[in-house]
Amino acid sequence: DSGVTQTPKHLITATGQRVTLRCSPRSGDLSVYWYQQSLDQGLQFLIQYYNGEERAKGNILERFSAQQFPDLHSELNLSSLELGDSALYFCASQGPGNTIYFGEGSWLTVV
């Protein structure tokens, strides 16, 4: 158990819909990362937050957005969903050291 909690574990939704994925980092960790992993692709970095502030951005689509709240949990919002958005979405948190620890992911299926 990495200490990073992601909800929901599984989600099925229709094209065009909007979903929110939630991540609770390890206790005391200030930084949160979001990654996407499709079936035929590796781990793609989406975005990183540190103490509520966006710090780095990867190939995140404009239909996707994220935020980190004062209690340090983070949410990834995916809108106007397409079939190609079906993937595993991972959250990771980073504490005072340099290592990041991943949650178990949220499986999103768009039908």
Partner 1 sequence: DAKTTQPTSMDCAEGRAANLPCNHSTISGNEYVYWYRQIHSQGPQYIIHGLKNNETNEMASLIITEDRKSSTLILPHATLRDTAVYYCIVRVGDNYGQNFVFGPGTRLSVLP
Nearest CA-CA partner of 23 in 65, 69, 56, 61: 69
Work out whether 27 is an interface residue with partner 1 (CB under 8 A). no
Cβ-based neighbour number of residue 75 at 10 Å: 16
| Binds partner 1 by CB under 8 A, chosen from 3, 50, 60, 79 | 50
| Binds partner 1 by CB under 8 A, chosen from 48, 68, 74, 93 | 48
Query: 34 or 110, CB closer to partner 1?
Result: 34
DSSP 43-79: EEEEEEEETTEEEEE-S--TTEEEEE-TTS-EEEEE-
Q: Which stretch binds partner 1 (CB under 8 A): 12-20, 65-73, 75-83, 86-94?
A: 86-94
Positions that interact with partner 1 (CB under 8 A): 2, 4, 30-31, 33, 35, 37, 42-43, 45, 48, 50, 55-56, 58, 88, 90, 92, 94, 98-105
